[in-house]
Amino acid sequence: MAEDTQTVEADTALGKFKISSANLNTLFTVLGFVVLCIVAWVLWTHNVEAMDTRKDAKETGKAVAAELKEANKEVANALKESNREVAKVLNDLARAMREQNCLNAFPAEKRAQNAELCKRISQ
């Protein structure tokens, strides 16, 4: 069987080189593999950096959520305190209205005598 390979000889300052087409195919295959490995490595490092960015974003989001939760608690506590004050004012107003209604139930000349009674009843 005859071989289909061609051989090229080259004389250079570095010496004599002999390259066959089979070796040239192997050389291109190895170079292709090296290029493929480099591209895979670049994509992998890019993906790792993107994952780190996503992790940072998640951590930042969690920190923002925690701050919002804390702020909401503070607002809720302030509203509770404000509502207590409003409720106290409304209770005092209702008590004064009950006392006034009690006094209005008596004739005008007996209202002064029954003021203490209406005060106790309204509470």
Q: What is the pLDDT of residues 53-98, one digit of tens each?
A: 777 777 888 888 888 889 889 988 888 888 888 889 899 999 989 8
Counting the structural domains of the chain, the total is 1
In whole angstroms, give the CA distance from residue 78 to residue 87.
14
pLDDT digits 0-9 by tens, 15-55: 787 777 777 778 888 889 999 999 998 888 887 777 777 77
Write down the residue that tokens 């080189």 correspond to. 17
Residue 2 located in a structural domain: no
pTM: 0.40
Residue 1 located in a structural domain: no
Q: Select from 23, 46, 43, 24 the least CA-distant residue to 35.
A: 43
Residue 98 is part of which domain span? Answer: 7-122
